[in-house]
Amino acid sequence: MSDIAKVVNFLKHQLKAKDITYALVANELDLSEASVKRLFAQRNFTLERLERIAAIINYSLEQLFSEAYRFEPKIEQLTEEYEKELVKQPDLLLITYLVLNHWSFSEILNYYKFDEHQIIQYLAKLDRMKIIELQPNNKIRLLTSRDFHWLEGGPIEQYVLRNVKDAFLSGRFIRPEESLGFVSGFVTEVGMLKIKRKLNQVAKDIHQIIDEEAHISIDKRNGFSALLASRHWEFSEFEQYKR
């Protein structure tokens, strides 16, 4: 989406939210209502007119562009078809993982065995999926929300359970900054829902830390994973002792 399209979409949203009609805007701009509708339809504004419309909703021009950028809808999930596409191409899945973790084009090029043409092709696919916006000079702009997550029970989640879970848990958790814990007990369904909410919050906190450290050079950061899971379950070896 172009910058002017983002601004126009934001303006439309704000005008509607404040019950400001095109007729009122037309009156402020000394134009006919039809002319104002045409301006919005064609996205053909001078800076002066944008500034005057911004003033109607109590924004400066700088605030207008800033808020329009933040307002752009962010995706929270991919479609099942897109997840399947990623799973079928491990190289594309890797690039997706890297950009979701704020890697730049040059960092990918320097750390992995992809040439520039390959990376651009991968990024173009992610642009099509609306995961990123591939900007001039190969700059990468993430379009995912802070709450982005894979489909529950979807292709990516199944891929992780099938290919990643055992490899992850079979490792040794011996460094001071690493941890491994297993907690079990007997709780009600209400209790389990409380635990689920707390685990969801932990996941959000982890994403926040990842975002906060995104500016640090990649050679000072390490790959990190945490597996959060809870379900109804009892150890099968104990079943033989039940009445």
| CATH number of the domain residue 35 falls in | 1.10.260
Model pLDDT, residue 211: 86
Residue with tokens 């926040």: 208
Which residue range forms the structural domain that includes residue 236?
172-243
pLDDT tens, position by position, 11-21: 888 888 888 99
Task: Give yes or no: residues 107 and 143 share one domain.
Answer: yes
pLDDT tens, position by position, 81-128: 999 999 999 999 999 999 999 999 999 999 999 999 999 999 999 999
169 has pLDDT over 80: yes
Q: Taking the model in full, what pTM does it have?
A: 0.68
Task: Give yes or no: residues 63 and 105 share one domain.
Answer: no
